[in-house]
Amino acid sequence: MMSKTRLLTLIIIVFVLFLPALLWAGAVYAVVVLEFEAPLPGNLQSMTYIQGNPVPANSVITDQYSNFGILFNNVAIVSLGAGHAPSGVNGIVGINSNNYLDYSIPLEISFVSPLNSDIKAVTDYFSITTDNWGESGNSITVSGYSLGGDLLGSTSYTEGSGGITLQLSNIGDIHTVIVASTLSDPTWGGIGFDSVKFANVTPPHSESSGDGLVAYWSFDNCDANDDSGNGHNGTIYGNPQCVDGEKGKAFRFDGFSDWIDVGPDTYFPAVTVSAFIKLDSTTTPSSTADGAITVVDGWKNRENFLMKISPTPAHF
């Protein structure tokens, strides 16, 4: 059965001995939209929008949206009020070093793997929208930076009206975005933001070895950890045996209840798999059935890739 998250699962059938596997990935383009409306994740609660108010801990946004591949720094969620927030009621504002709401503090946004927020990632599109009350003459600059911290590009706007969307695109692989405001009157307050949009995150090119290697499961330690150093660790299900393989160690699967799950395919949107595989037999469970070695998107929905053996002879 295919789950709603379209799990990318390595399922080993027909008594297959699955040896060290390598995975390469490409990119997919889809847009994630964060509007900061209820229900809010991670017990977040919006606070008053007034400049200089202390920010309670449950109004600070950090990693609550990390399952989408995004982290926030110096950012609070506030109730801008109906008619102010383009998407509803809530928006986001900066927090200063004294933990007070401060519209002059830049918002810092970075991209990570949805599977593991310790793994850095990139996107090629980002946008953010100003609140609807934008006639104060404040200026905004949205800047995108590479994984190495180099400025890739920026866009600026001086308020004359509200609900303006500023976007970064076609500037390269963006790892960090800084949304900075210069206030025409710091005592009065400034610009709230809403409706953050970004393209699905992908591994940064710099994390790949020369041929684009994203993940490598050697199984040498009898686990499913990613030895490429990119953190794409798998989870072992069932009770596969750790045995000697073609190179180092391997796992022997029972063909029924043993498999390794390497997570949602949002981080592996297009893949090439290479592995050492040893079969105990080239026959399948029946004279008409195929045996799957690896499968994506569920057994019956072979949408992306399938390695299989047919009844006679073996085909891959």
Given a contact cutoff of 8 angstroms between Cβ atoms, the answer to whether 123 and 198 are in contact is yes
The rounded distance, in Å, linking the Cα atoms of 53 and 79 is 13
pTM for this prediction: 0.61
Number of other CB atoms surrounding residue 147 within 10 Å: 18
Q: What is the average pLDDT across 134-151?
A: 88
The rounded distance, in Å, linking the Cα atoms of 257 and 106 is 51
- 284-298 pLDDT tens trace: 555 555 555 555 544
The percent of residues above 90 in pLDDT, for the chain, comes to 40
Sign of CA dihedral 79, 80, 82, 87: negative
Domain regions of the chain by residue span: 7-27+207-309, 31-201
The rounded distance, in Å, linking the Cα atoms of 178 and 109 is 6
pLDDT of residue 184: 74
- 258-276 pLDDT tens trace: 888 776 554 555 566 777 7
Number of other CB atoms surrounding residue 7 within 10 Å: 15
Residues 31-201, CATH architecture:
Sandwich (2.60)
**Tokens at 116, concatenated:** 């593991």
Given a contact cutoff of 8 angstroms between Cβ atoms, the answer to whether 144 and 171 are in contact is yes
pLDDT of residue 289: 52
The rounded distance, in Å, linking the Cα atoms of 180 and 191 is 10
Q: Tell me what the pLDDT averaged over the chain comes to.
A: 78
